[in-house]
Amino acid sequence: MDGWDLPTSLTVGGARRPIRSDFRDALYLMGIFADPELEPDEKAAVCLRVLFVDGEDIPAGQAEEAFQAAVDFLDGGIPAGGRRASPRVVDLQQDAPILIPAVNKVLGREIRALPYLHWWTFLAAYMEVGDSLFSTVVGLRQKRARGRKLEKYEQQFWNENRALVELRRKQTPQDRARREQLRELFV
């Protein structure tokens, strides 16, 4: 993929396949990838059906290639090599109310009112988010995730805004089963 272009199709099996490149579709897929109830193959299948306009028509023999092309697109065309896994400090669904104003500020417009905004344009604005409530919250989460102590004023902010700052844990089927077992013990 060429970083100077905004791709609206991806090459799979030597042919160009049109994709849904709006930021809303990509954010939906990010939510799918974060869903603990879905297996990796289910996530991949949903990705192909959502991202590719003709996703249901991709031959099984090309599914792996199509999925890799999709992941490369969702990564903004930035090679993944050398990146190390880092603790999760952003939840796009939970953080939407503070993320959207930060991206709006960078782009100088209300993105939700736009009929279309390319995923890479959204991603570029996301990467350029500067001083904002969103960056403050993410900075505090990063500090905590790395085991660093919060300053007194940061701890106070955390305590006063706990619902905003703390990431809610996604419940898995196993979590629900354990909770049900506990409930039965006390009934």
Q: What is the pLDDT of residues 58-103, one digit of tens each?
A: 999 999 999 999 999 999 988 876 566 678 899 988 999 999 999 9
pLDDT in tens, 142-171: 999 999 999 999 999 999 999 999 998 766
Query: Domain residues for 67?
Result: 9-74
In a domain, 113, yes or no: yes
Token duo for residue 128: 């350029």
Based on the domain organization, do 98 and 150 belong to the same domain? yes
CB 21 within 8 A of CB 121: no
Q: Which letter does DSSP use for residue 5 in this model?
A: S
As a whole number, the mean pLDDT across the chain is: 90
Based on the domain organization, do 100 and 138 belong to the same domain? yes
Based on the domain organization, do 116 and 156 belong to the same domain? yes
Is 175 a residue whose pLDDT tops 70? Answer: no
Based on the domain organization, do 29 and 66 belong to the same domain? yes
- Predicted confidence at residue 78, as pLDDT, reads 86
Based on the domain organization, do 50 and 96 belong to the same domain? no
Based on the domain organization, do 70 and 96 belong to the same domain? no
Based on the domain organization, do 124 and 61 belong to the same domain? no
CB 126 within 8 A of CB 78: no
Taking the model in full, what pTM does it have?
Answer: 0.84
| CA distances, 124 to each of 130, 173, 176 (Å) | 12, 35, 38
Q: Where are the alpha helices (DSSP H) in 75-132?
A: 92-107, 119-127
Cα separation, 134 vs 102, whole angstroms: 7
Based on the domain organization, do 34 and 64 belong to the same domain? yes
Kind and range of the H or E run holding 156: helix 152-160
In a domain, 2, yes or no: no
- Predicted confidence at residue 2, as pLDDT, reads 67
Q: Work out the pLDDT band at 182, boundaries 50, 70, 90.
A: low
> What average pLDDT does range 17-40 have in this prediction?
93
Please tell me the total count of domains within the chain: 2
Q: Which letter does DSSP use for residue 2 in this model?
A: -
Based on the domain organization, do 103 and 146 belong to the same domain? yes
Where b means 16+ CB within 10 Å and e means fewer, 153-174 reads ebeebbeeeeebbebeeeeeee
Q: Taking the CB of residue 137, how many other CB atoms lie within 10 A of it?
A: 23
- Predicted confidence at residue 30, as pLDDT, reads 93
| CA distances, 82 to each of 8, 40, 66, 79 (Å) | 27, 22, 23, 9
In a domain, 152, yes or no: yes
φ, ψ for residue 177, nearest 5 deg? -65, -45
In a domain, 84, yes or no: no
